[in-house]
Amino acid sequence: MSAATRKRKRAAIASFCRWAVRHDLLDANPMDRIDTIKVPKTLPRPAAAADVAKVLAAICSRRPRKDLPLDRLRDRALFETAYVCGARAAEVCGLYVEDLDLRMDDEHVRIHGKGGSVRTVLLDDRGYVALLKLYLARADYTAGPLFRASINGYGGPLSYDAAHHRWQGYCTAARVEIDIHQLRHAHATELINAGVSIEAVRRRLGHASTETTQLYALLDDKVTDAEIRAARRRRDRATR
C-alpha cells in the first residue's frame, strides 16, 4: 500500500473518530496518538518533445486542410495551448475568448488557476499563435468559451474528462504513452533547460511557491550538463 493511500485512509478514520467524540461515542480520539503519514515528494515526469510532437501531429498539422472537422482543429489548439503555456488541462478547458489578447507582437492569455488565482502568460510561439487565430476564424468565435464541447461549436466548455479521453485516443493513434498533465511538466522542464530562472517558471506555471517549481530543476538538466562538460574540457586543456 502506497504512502498516499495510507494517508487517505488515516484521514478517513480520523474524521470518523472526531465525529464519534462529538457524539459522545468515544471519550477521546485515538488517532491523536498516531503519527501523521508523510507522503514523499516525487519528481514530475516530463514528456519528450519528440513524443509530444507525434501526438499533436496525430490530431492534425499546424496548417490543417480546409475540410478538417472543427473538433479536430479545436483539439489541436487545446492541447497545444496546454503545452505551449505550461497550463493545466482543466485551466485550458476553462478559457474564454475574452481571456486572449492577440495584438501583434504582444500576444498573451489570461489563465485562471487554483484558488481563484489569475496569471498572464506570454504566447511567444508564432506558429501556435497562427494556429489559434485560424481556429478562432474557423469557429467564428468572438466571445464565450474558447474550447466548446459540441462539434458544431455551440456547446459549453469542453470538460476535463472529455479532453482527457480525447487526448488518450490521440496518444493511442500515435503509439505514445503521455499523460495529459505531462504536457505541463514538459514545458516547465524545457524552460529550465533553456536557462529560464526558477522564479520566471514559477510565475508562468502559477505555482504558489518556488519549492514546487524547484522539483523541475532536479531533473536531467541539459544546461547544467553542458556547463559541466565545458568546465571539464577547460580543465583538461589546462593540464595538457
Q: Which residues are catalytic?
A: 88, 114, 181, 184, 207, 216
Contact (CB, 8 A) for 180 and 163: yes
The three-state (H, E, C) secondary structure of 58-92, written as one string:
HHCCCCCCCCCCHHHHHHHHHHHHHHHHCCCHHHH
Query: Which candidate, 170, 137, 162, 141, places its Cα nearest to that of 153?
Result: 141
Q: How far apart are CA 220 and CA 210, in angstroms?
A: 18
CA-to-CA separations, 202 to 86, 216, 235, in angstroms, rounded: 10, 10, 35
Q: How far apart are CA 150 and CA 72, in angstroms?
A: 12
Query: Which candidate, 92, 96, 83, 99, places its Cα nearest to that of 113?
Result: 92
Q: Which residue has the cell 508562468?
A: 204
29 CB burial (10 A radius; 0-12, 13-18, 19+): middle
Q: How far apart are CA 219 and CA 198, in angstroms?
A: 13
